[in-house]
Amino acid sequence: MEIVVFFISAVIVLSGGIGVVMAKNPVHAALFLVQTLFGMAVLFILQHAHFLAAVQVVVYAGAIVILFLFVIMLLGVDKAERLDVDPIVGQRLVAPLIGLLLFAGLMAVLVGATEFTDWSWSARFGDFGVDTELNGRPGAEAPIATDRPDVNQLGERLFTDWVFAFEITALLLTIAVVGAVVLARRITGELEPIPEAEDLWVRSRPVAADADGDDAVADGEDVADGDDAGDAADEKADA
């Protein structure tokens, strides 16, 4: 049973992955990505990681791909990239070659590392990860205890062993939001000139009439921006 489910979902995952790369239309590529992510969710369930499977569907297939679609739609689907010119000469020849090399290398390593003692079908595919020991050591499946739901176990680990990494991740998300807001904010209205060398030079001298009153007008709606440049420009005008 397990093996059948595995092969079906593996086919779904791989065909989805190939579809993402091959699809001409970016919307189709995004939809192929959903297919891959669903296949992965099934694989997670197969490994008794129910929580991960749910998160996979809700966060990745649900939220992230929808965001992709938003961006694609906003940028315009019809604007196709020109594919007939290579930005780097020979790129299109070399890329698949390197890809194939990497694939062959990975396969060689994987096959070389897997020391099958019994080459029968059931030994190879019957029990995942248990019989196919890598270098004599059990795989990473050990800590999962089956007597408790994996949500409990995950939560316990998150708030004991990895509590610090967990909190740091929270900070990371906050920072990403702050930075994204700053970078994505559109500057409207007249731009203040970036000060020239003379402005900096003038600034360092005592200025007779400080033109503070103009700043609010000059800065317009962009309050976090342009105060000093405004000063510099004003002083230049005064001079």
Partner 1 sequence: MLDLLAQAAQPEFARPRIDWFALSPELVLLSLGALLTLLDVVFAERAKAITSAIAGLGLVGVIIPLVAVWTRVNDGDVLYAFAEKKPGATDPVGLEHYVIDEYAIVMKILFVLVGYVVVLLSTNYVAEGDYWESEYYGLLISSILGMVVMASARDLIGIFVALELLSIPAYLLAAWRKRDKLSNEAGLKYYLMGVFASAVMLYGMSLLYGTTGSTLLVDISKAVGGRESSSIATLGIVFVAVGFAFKVSAVPFHNWAPDTYEGAPTPVTAFLAVASKTAGFVALLTLVYVGFWGRGDVYEPLMWFLAAASMTIGNLLALRQTNFVRMMAYSGVAQTGFIIAPLAVAGNGDIADAALSTTVNYLAIYAAMNLGAFGVLIALARKTRSAEISDMRGAFHYAPGLTAVMTVFLFSLAGIPPIGGWFAKFRVFSVLVQDDSVSGYLLAVVVAVNSVIALYYYASVARTMWADEAPDGDLTPVNVPPSLVAALGITVAITLVFGILPSVVGDFTDVSLLAGG
Residue 88 as a binder of partner 1 (CB under 8 A): the answer is no
- CA separation for the pair 129, 3 (Å, rounded): 13
Nearer to partner 1, 88 or 208 (CB): 88
Residue 214 is given by DSSP the state: G
Q: Quick one: which of 22, 21, 59 has its CA closest to 37?
A: 59
Residue 25 as a binder of partner 1 (CB under 8 A): the answer is no
Nearer to partner 1, 8 or 201 (CB): 201
Q: Quote the least distance from Cβ 50 to partner 1, whole Å.
A: 19
Which segment (10-18, 26-34, 61-69, 193-201) binds partner 1 by CB under 8 A? 193-201
Residues with Cβ < 8 Å from 237, sequence gap 6 or more? 211
Number of residues engaging partner 1 in binding (CB under 8 A): 54
- CA separation for the pair 14, 124 (Å, rounded): 21
Q: Quote the least distance from Cβ 201 to partner 1, whole Å.
A: 6
- CA separation for the pair 163, 153 (Å, rounded): 14
User: Which residues, in sequence order, are bridge partners of residue 134?
Assistant: 114, 137
Binding stretches for partner 1 (CB under 8 A): 106, 108-110, 112-113, 134-135, 137-140, 142-143, 148, 156, 159-165, 168-169, 171-172, 175-176, 178-180, 182-183, 187, 191-192, 194-197, 200-201, 203-204, 223-230, 232
